Structure 1
Amino acid sequence: MKNIVLCFIICVVVAYADTPWSPNVRVSTDEPWDTLNQGESCFAVFGDTIVSICNTAERGSVPVAPYAYSFDGGQTFTQIPFTDYSTGIGWHTDPIIGFDDSGYVHMLIQYSAVFMNHYLSKDGGLSWVDTTRINSINGADKPWWVINDNEIYVVWQRTDPAWDIWLAKSTDYGASFSDSMIWTRAGITAICMDEQEHLHLALVQGFASGHLFYRKSTDYGETWTDEEHLSSTFYIEDYGDRAPINSITARGDVVFVTWVDNSFNGSWDIKAVRSTDGGTSWGTPFVVNESTDGGQCKGWAHFDVYGGLHVIYYHTPDWPVDSATSLFSLRYQYSADSGATFYPSIRISDTASISHDRFLGEYHVIQSDSQYLYAIWTDGRNGDDNDLYFSKALLTDVATMEYTSPTYNDSLALFHVPTIWNGKVVLEITQQPYPVDIKIYDVLGRVVRHLFTGTVLSPMQMTLESKDFPVGILFLHGETEHGSEVTKVVNCRGR
């Protein structure tokens, strides 16, 4: 049985991150059960609901995976210590979390390096109604996954006695899994799915000296292309980071991979390599971060639904890292051209602070929906242990600030539309001298309908029927060559 103890509401805001990132909100609680150093976080977003799960530095002695949720878009968070005593293993580690197409929460917890369980919640994590064993053979480490509607794909490194890469697949929302070995190599995996539902898999094998490989599946994991060697790698562990963690993201024909590497000037950097033909051929690896002083680690890359590419990473000005004095901050870089170039970094975290433990976690991720870009990470600003913090930024504001003059958002006024839909809805499109493209997205960032494309020589109207669109939160996204605009609507009478 799962053990869920009393929860507490937290809303702490201090100072300001770099514009347009919002002031940081504390995710971690400060109650008696939490004297832990929280790190290695994963989170997911569905409408105004944000759910988070993380690891702790004390996972070997304290059987807890701190779970948090927000039902108000990240203004406040509630954190609950999740423990599954039925496994007989106290070591809760390498957690992952996500939403399916119904808004239900799926969570993976690895128990020691033995097995992984899948958990399902239909109420935002207040209760867990289903538990399923994922791997059929003991030995599991460093899992990652993709959730696509009713499907779940999990990859991991099997450990002892064999070392290889396995894939588990569920087509019934995690009620059952089938698994098989897909790669005779071992190491740290990263997996993503593009909008064509092709799976992309990256693998860092070995460190200090190692190699980066890539494979692709166009048939939902049934078969995989031959491996492609993308780069040699070199990594040195130090205080605050202990693995050359990699990430992978894909949009259109572009596949983008990052990893942590020491080969450029001896300290950590976020290196990347990209393909512009769907993974068939690859360019030359390069360093993403513009500052190579000190160290950059825990990089994560993510394409939003409009094609913007976002990368986060930790920065410390010191190398080697000093456990007592080295300060860590979370930084962010944007690319408007799918990773061909990047704009200078800005800081997401309100402050730079030390880490109270060598373990800051191996990964922290970045996510987006049709309106916002989101980040959750850990730092030690509270002075006693490492805690999770949250921030978000409007996608339009990120783009506006970094590479165009701020002449749009409200001032652009591409269209006007009621924010509550119930029956007939009139969309008014304003006159524009440039071609306009308007689409509707759901909360998962999927295109619901392409409404209009063309030049608007005079103001025009379109009549929509709410019943032709999904119930719930939708986003209208309008774009011209000079800017973009997003409006959030609630459809009360949809299909």
Structure 2
Amino acid sequence: MRRALAVASITAVLLLNVGTLASAASPPTRVGITHPTWWAKYLAVSSPSFRSSIGTSVASVNVGTNVDVSNEEGPQSETSIAIDPSDPSRLVAGSNEIARLPMRGYFSSDGGDTWGGVDLPLPPPINANGFDFGSDPYVAWDTTPIAPSGPSSTGVKLSRSTDGGHTFSAPVDVSPTGGGQRFGIGADPFVAPDGTVHVAWEDISINIEEASSSDGGASFGPAHVISPTNVPIATVIPAQNSRGVLITPACGADASSGPDRGTLYCSWFDLNGANGLDVFVSRSTDGGSTWDAPVVVNDDATGQANDQFFQWLAVDPTDGSVNLSWYDTRLDPTHVSTNVFYSRSTDGGLTYELNVQVTSAPTDETAEGADLGNQYGDYEGIAAFGGVVHPVWTDRRASLPAALNEEVFTATIVP
């Protein structure tokens, strides 16, 4: 049965290396493996040993069972997740599946306790606009719709759809291009409750930046600097020693009816002196024109060179809480193995609660053959609705069979 959608439009944003376009508006300015069937794999790994509960209850945050979402032979990484707001028991998630096909999707109808999966092959490429490179697309729903770059420059582009994603508009410039711009491989679109479309990205090792559109993504205003950054491209850390790390901002807007409705939040990780990589969040209460000084979310001991990285952020639209999860090396003195940690803010992003460990076992992505060299990839995911939070991450815990060398895991968190 076809489901009615409560949303009116969808926007997608890609980071593109742009070739010469036929007509271009001026950009904004800156202010081989054999695979058994999925069901066979599910039966093989659905025993309790693969669903061990961490049993955590800290600062009124209860972390449930660690659940193997993918149960899929071959490496998965770069995870994402979303909740159906009309029925929060229905979840969808996705990941890379780099050993045999580009992507895999997962679905749950019981709040994340059990999962199914399906391959998501890529559609045929469309090269009409002469793009040389595109990477890591993201999507955001807009519930309040409102009726060129030079050769070899880089920039962030956005395409929008008003027919449920069947067709998309020609891409428009979001970011400045050229002039030394050195963009990462991801940008994050998000929609404020008034329908304003925002996109955030990183100008590598220079700034986290944001631009907004008041006409549903047809055009964008000047870019605003959220914060300077210090992470050079592909910075190698002990936990991700083969491909290094890049900053991808993860942002959201408070769509609740609470006192912070309309507040924007952007998160990222950055080098913080002797503390290693830390997770930061900044907020804006004026639609993105100005941004507050960043707040450090992780609460590990200072001066230990622990790395917190690949954070993701979700603002619960029912209560306005700001929820984050990330990979964290604080429990390994060598800073190689990671666990996933979680924190939230309930005061509009001014302060963050005691960090809570989500994973019941560590992951070492530096071991031989880890994700065919992809390791964790470049991000993980989190979703929140109705006071329930679902992070999703890449997991290589030692108890997994050799065939399941990287899995997608999740857990249900109830603050």
2:94 maps to which residue? 53
Distance 2:342 2:118 in 1: 29
1:350: Cα distance to partner?
1.6
Structure that is richer in strand per residue: 1
1:112-123 → structure 2 map (5 Å cutoff):
115=125
Does the CA-based 8 Å contact 2:145-2:195 persist in structure 1? no
Does the CA-based 8 Å contact 2:94-2:106 persist in structure 1? yes
Distance 1:347 1:184, change over 3 A: same
Identity %: 20
Distance 1:383 1:354, change over 3 A: farther
1:346 maps to which residue? 356
2:80 partner letter? C
1:171 maps to which residue? 162
Does the CA-based 8 Å contact 1:150-1:171 persist in structure 2? no
Distance 1:335 1:75, change over 3 A: same
Distance 1:134 1:378 in 2: 32
Equivalent in 159, 184, 195 of residue 176 of structure 2:
184
Equivalent in 247, 251, 256 of residue 248 of structure 1:
251
Distance 1:273 1:26, change over 3 A: same
Q: Residue by residue, what CA displacement relative to the aligned partner does 1:199-245 show, whole Å, maximum 9, x if unpaired?
A: 12211012xx3211121222211232221122221113334352112
State which structure, 1 or 2, has the greater radius of gyration over its C-alpha atoms. Answer: 1
CA RMSD of aligned residues (A): 2.9
1:184: Cα distance to partner?
2.7
Equivalent in 261, 283, 300 of residue 292 of structure 2:
283
2:38 partner letter? C
Distance 1:242 1:210, change over 3 A: same
Q: Residue by residue, what CA displacement relative to the aligned partner does 1:9-41 show, whole Å, maximum 9, x if unpaired?
A: 4644113242311111111215xxx1x221101
Q: Residue by residue, what CA displacement relative to the aligned partner does 1:161-210 show, whole Å, maximum 9, x if unpaired?
A: 3311111011001111112331233433111112222112211012xx32
SS at match of 1:265: helix
2:153 maps to which residue? 162
5+ unaligned residues in a row in structure 2: which ranges?
1-34, 178-182, 255-260
Equivalent in 353, 362, 371 of residue 378 of structure 2:
362
Does the CA-based 8 Å contact 1:150-1:173 persist in structure 2? no
Name the TM-score, length of structure 2 as normaliser: 0.72
How many residues are aligned here? 330
Does the CA-based 8 Å contact 1:140-1:159 persist in structure 2? no
**Residue 295 in structure 1 maps to residue 303 in structure 2:** no
Does the CA-based 8 Å contact 2:341-2:359 persist in structure 1? yes
1:143-162 → structure 2 map (5 Å cutoff):
143-148=137-142, 161-162=152-153
Distance 2:314 2:145 in 1: 20
With a CA cutoff of 8 Å and minimum separation of 6, indicate the structure with the bigger relative contact order: 2
1:409-420 → structure 2 map (5 Å cutoff):
none
1:330: Cα distance to partner?
0.7
Does the CA-based 8 Å contact 2:265-2:281 persist in structure 1? yes
Distance 2:262 2:193 in 1: 10
5+ unaligned residues in a row in structure 1: which ranges?
88-114, 116-132, 153-157, 399-495
Name the TM-score, length of structure 1 as normaliser: 0.61
Distance 1:193 1:217 in 2: 10
1:269: Cα distance to partner?
1.0
Q: Residue by residue, what CA displacement relative to the aligned partner does 1:100-125 show, whole Å, maximum 9, x if unpaired?
A: xxxxxxxxxxxxxxx5xxxxxxxxxx
2:22 maps to which residue? none
Distance 2:171 2:364 in 1: 42
SS at match of 2:171: strand
**Residue 232 in structure 1 maps to residue 232 in structure 2:** no
Distance 1:23 1:320, change over 3 A: closer
